[in-house]
Amino acid sequence: MRKTDGLLKLLGLCVLAGVLVAGVLFPVVGAAGVVSNRASETVDNMSAELANVPPPLVTTVTDSAGAPIATLYKQYRLPAAPEQISLAMKWALVSVEDKRFYEHHGVDWKGTMRAAISNGTGGDTQGASTLTQQYVKNYLINVVCRPKSDEKEDQAEARLCREKAQEQSIARKLKEARIAIQLETKMTKDQVLAGYLNVVEFSRQVFGIGAAAKTYFNTTPDKLNVSQSALLAGLVNNPNTNDPWNHPLAAKKRRDTVLDRMVDNKKLAPEDAVKAKNEPLGVVPELQKPPANCTGAGPENGFFCQYVEDYLLKNGMTKDDLYTGGYTIKTTMDERANHEAKASAETQVNKTQPNVANTLSLVKPGQDRHEVVALAANRDYGGDKDKGQTTYALPSGIWNVSGAGSSYKIFTAAAAMQNHVLGIYSTMETPSFHISGVFTGGGQHCPTVTRGTRAYCLSNASDSYGSQMSLQQALATSPNTGFVILEEKTGMGPIVDMASKLGMRDTMASSISGGKGDPNSNDPSKMTQTKYFGPTPNGPGQGSFTLGVSPTSGLELANVAATILSHGKWCPPTPIGSVTDRDGKPKQVKESACEQVVEPALADTLAVGMSKDDQPGGTSAKAAGAAGWNRPIIGKTGTTQVSGSATFVGGTPGLAGAAMVFRPDSPNGGIYDGGPGNISAAKGTNGNMFGGGTPARTWFGAMKNILGDQPIEQLPGSSPQYERVGR
């Protein structure tokens, strides 16, 4: 009975071996019928994927001068060409993993038969995989089968793919071997070897020999010596077990084994092996791998990097492509301007001050582009909350704060001018108290219009305004009543539309609660700000819009100033200078086209109308004087109710910006202004912060240093048609 069993097993092994050999030879001799057509197509597709799917590479983000500031990646991989890898590294790997590498054509026949016999007799499917076959498996695992997103379905699909690529079966070995043979008809031995060394993992999410040389020894692949090469070659078999930091003894033992194999393979003299064995492991004290995201840009530049990522994802690039494409993204960030913006923001508000964010966003006006040059905050960018760090997009995001305050009066003024309600020198009413005959929704101190409805009513911040003044003076001194009266005369439709036109695109598309708005919703907390504040068939809109009571993006507010100073030309606030792919070829970024949103005469006259804020009597005059400011600017401050947030938006012909101070962690309540370095979230409800305080000091402090001794540029002149009009 035992003899019969032995004969049957031997016969089975022969049949199994024959099938395996025939299958391996199929791509070469076309042994049709050995496997199904579907299996053949699957193998062909997998082979094509190996040739067509590029491995994930590191994307580098630079400043405007080309200096790297951050790296974005899912797999830390620095590719190396065959000639950029030392001979010691090549021979170390060949000696320990596939000593007949330069003799076979992708498959080691003896090893393959041994694996088949072992599996047929009940043993494990044994390796005997050549480096080419290992290249195939690692490419499938690390490239083809990697998840392309964080979605559960994608993660599950990738996991199944990796399991299939690693399953211990003859079918898997058959596919792997067939692809290996195909690859060696397309690639030279050195290309296969370099391909393997570029795709394999060397533990701790370090992929490829370039990244391994950098992270383990702070060197490049061409400079790896015998001892270093042996250590790295020993890692690929079991990266975690042989990790030199966690398991130095195991790593040394494995390194020495590789050295012995190099001697056996006659690629290293015995005495040189002994010398190498006596050397320490030589790895750097800590893994030299940069952060994989914008935290690598550091506390100062991280906010700009974050906006670059957000901007590219918004404009059509996927996160997987961004983090694996190996792009070089040259940004528009001016390193010096960004530093000065950060320094000024932090001078005003300490970086660890609880629940107070102070931001500054700077944009360069232009007819063809509005380049973002700085995005800064008092807080550091990073993940250590104990140090006051955050990864929220403070200078560019839309914040659910009290709002931008009276900075929104810019839109009321612009719409009133466009509709010829008045000009910058026209007289407007500014009573100390106003009860609207148009808007409703006032508080208990306002008179009742109908049962359950009160008129909208409001007063000025002080009684010193007088009963009337010019629009130019009103923009400088900011009486609330006058601008609500302008809303009544102009209508809310043109005003909220003007806000979007001049630059508040995402802000106006968001909801009043700070999230993404739904233009079809009738729920006030979900509808877009345009719909909420604008007129409806049942009402004239919300008169509080001009007081800036809703969530706002500081960057978009800066771009409003850039649009005005660009003679009414709106362009998206872009952080992108150029993008090149892994081959150095330019990649087009989909960006919105610039638009002439208001005629130049209107924009230029509005600039003149906004030119007195820093002058005596203006709301930012004190901050301008303290900074020694001597340039013409446009400017507008904003302060919300209970001083919960405040802004200053302004600009010169060459640079525009907006500073914004707010409570990011708990928005309800005020902010206390005790002078530079003494800013805090008020313990009570009310604060004493104003736009002419921290925001204006931040803006003037940074702009003074950034512009330095550059020539003083004058504002454009006004146009008579928008100077004195009225009805």
Backbone angles phi and psi of 331, in degrees to 5:
-90, 175
Q: Please provide residue 504's backbone torsions phi and psi, each rounded to the nearest 5 degrees.
A: -85, 55
Could you say which DSSP state residue 375 is in? Answer: E
Hey, CA dihedral for 537, 538, 543, 549, is it positive or negative? negative
Whether 370 contacts 573, CB under 8 Å: yes
The mean predicted confidence, pLDDT, of the chain is 90
pLDDT at 186: 87
Q: Minimum mean pLDDT among 78-82, 137-141, 690-694: which range?
A: 137-141
What pLDDT is stored for residue 462 in this prediction? 82
Residue the block writes with tokens 């000696």: 95
pLDDT exceeds 90 at position 713: yes
| Pairwise CA distance, residues 681 & 288, whole Å | 40
Inter-residue contact 355 to 665 (CB < 8 Å): yes
Banded pLDDT at 112 (limits 50, 70, 90):
low
For residues 203-223, give the mean pLDDT.
96
pTM: 0.91
pLDDT at 314 over 50: yes
108-112, 383-387, 460-464, 681-685: segment of lowest average pLDDT? 108-112
DSSP designation for 168: -
Contact 359, 395 (CB under 8 A): yes
Query: pLDDT value at position 374?
Result: 98
pLDDT at 543 over 60: yes
Q: Report the DSSP beta bridge partners of residue 359.
A: 377, 660
Looking only at the bridges linking them, the beta strands covering 206-207 and 595-596 are unpaired
Q: What is the DSSP string of 538-606?
A: TB---GGGGG--S-EEHHHHHHHHHHHHTTTEE--EE-EEEEE-TTS-B-----PPPEE-S-HHHHHHH
Closest CA to 61 of 313, 363, 339, 327: 327
On the CB side of 664, CA atoms within 13 Å amount to 26
Q: How far is CA 152 from the centre of its chain?
A: 22
DSSP string across 270-323: HHHHHHHHTS-----SS-----SSGGGGHHHHHHHHHHHHHHHHHTT--HHHHH
Q: Strands 468-470, 576-580: parallel, antiparallel or unpaired by DSSP?
A: unpaired
Q: What is the pLDDT of residue 176?
A: 85
pLDDT at 9: 42
pLDDT for 298 equals 97
Token reading at 379: 């807080």
For 418, the token pair is: 């466009």
**Per-residue pLDDT, 36:** 31
Helix (H) or strand (E) holding 27: helix 2-29
pLDDT at 136 over 60: yes
Which residue would you say has higher pLDDT here, 700 or 183?
A: 700
Report residue 60: phi and psi, to 5°. -110, 130
- Give the pLDDT score at 512: 87
**Lowest mean pLDDT across 34-38, 426-430, 615-619:** 34-38
The mean pLDDT of 579-606, rounded to a whole number, is 97
Q: In Å, what is the CA distance from 575 to each residue of 254, 329, 361, 461?
A: 48, 10, 12, 38
- pLDDT band, residue 12 (cuts 50/70/90): very low
How many angstroms separate the first and last alpha carbons of the chain? Answer: 114
DSSP β-bridge partners for residue 595: 570
The two tokens of residue 264 are: 């056996």
**Of 52 and 188, the one with more pLDDT:** 188
Tens of pLDDT, residues 256-313: 999 999 999 999 999 999 999 999 999 999 888 999 999 999 999 999 999 999 999 9
Alpha helices in 102-188 (DSSP H): 109-120, 131-139, 152-166, 170-186
pLDDT at 113: 67
Dihedral Cα 610, 615, 618, 623, nearest 10 deg: 110
pLDDT at res. 637: 98
Give me the mean pLDDT over the 516-532 stretch: 90
